[in-house]
């Protein structure tokens, strides 16, 4: 069976870690590539990095580099120990783990990532906003579900 690119949108919030945990437990299998898709909305990092990869995102960052704080700092990302532990367990199951960093609007960049990588499916977390808050603030997961060109699974934080 061919390798699948399984994407997980992460921002290291509890709901994105629930999505990561769900994907690594229920979806990825040996031979797959688990792609963490992180969209950085903060432009307060080294401008050279942003200008170099702003259009198409960073190159794939392998797990051993993504675990190194000196490397992730260049990209403006701070994965926590819980997320790294989940990724390590997936790696031990024979899953290739990489991260790809984008800069800009998460709704648009996640949809672009689906096409550029390309992803076979995407898993996103859902904070469970009320209807009023979702109407006022918008919802990244709702936008992606409605605009993605691949299957999208939405995992609620309380699912796990």
pLDDT digits (tens, 9 = 90+) for 34-70: 999 999 887 655 555 556 666 788 999 999 999 999 9
State the Cα–Cα distance between residues 152 and 104, nearest whole angstrom.
21
How many domains are contained in the chain? 1
- Of 28-37, 51-60, 87-96, 110-119, minimum mean pLDDT range: 51-60
CATH code, 78: 3.40.50.620
Domain residues for the domain of 77 are: 5-158
pLDDT of residue 136: 46
CB atoms within 10 A of CB 84: 14
- Say how many Å lie between the first and final Cα of the chain, rounded: 29
pLDDT (mean) for 108-133: 85
């Amino acid at each position: 069976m061919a390798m699948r690119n399984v994407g997980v949108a992460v921002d290291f919030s509890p709901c994105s870690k629930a999505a990561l945990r769900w994907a690594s437990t229920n979806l990825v299998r040996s031979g797959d590539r688990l792609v963490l898709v992180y969209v950085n909305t903060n432009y307060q990092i080294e401008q050279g990095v942003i200008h170099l990869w702003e259009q198409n995102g960073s190159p794939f960052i392998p797990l051993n580099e993504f675990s190194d704080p000196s490397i992730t700092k260049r990209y403006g990302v701070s994965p926590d120990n819980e997320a790294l532990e989940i990724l390590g367990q997936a790696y031990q199951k024979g899953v290739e783990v990489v991260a790809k960093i984008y800069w800009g609007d998460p709704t648009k960049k996640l949809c672009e990532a689906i096409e550029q990588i390309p992803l076979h499916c995407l898993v996103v977390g859902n904070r469970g906003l009320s209807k009023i808050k979702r109407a006022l603030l918008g919802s990244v997961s709702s936008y992606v579900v409605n605009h993605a060109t691949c299957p999208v699974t939405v995992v609620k934080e309380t699912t796990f």
